[in-house]
Amino acid sequence: QVQLVESGGGSVQAGGSLRLSCAASGDINSRAHMGWFRQGPGKEREGVASVNGNNGVTYYADSVKGRFTISQDKAKNTVYLQMAGLKPEDTAAYYCVADGWIPPSRWALPGTWANWGQGTQVTVSS
């Protein structure tokens, strides 16, 4: 059993920055891989970024490359998503995800991940 609690969401103007945090607890073997998904209004849930906690390899959606950075503090059992250059189209509920192992080619598929947080809202105004 893994528990994921997101924080850091809020409202920001276009061009601004936010940092999301995800505090993880529970079975450490089930959260070796962690990541972030988002779901905007009227949109499907999409993968934003993920990190392999075993080797530090990261993955990003093309839409956020160069603007978002995923990082992990293992001592604090926390994963972060630093978001810069925010755009109105980044408006969404952001979800933290975790799993023991995922195939790298499928990191961006929601069905790949077993554990989900409750989500935190990010709203970007123009």
> What is the pLDDT, as a whole number, of residue 20?
98
For 119, which DSSP code?
-
Can you spell out the DSSP letters for 1-59? -EEEEEE--EEEETT--EEEEEEEEE-GGGGSEEEEEEE-TTS--EEEEEEETTT--EE
Helices (H) and strands (E) in the chain, counts: 0, 11
Tens of pLDDT, residue by residue over 47-88, are: 999 999 999 999 999 999 999 999 999 999 999 999 999 999
Q: Taking the CB of residue 122, how many other CB atoms lie within 10 A of it?
A: 22
Summary mean pLDDT of the chain: 96
Residue for token digits 């250059």?
Answer: 85
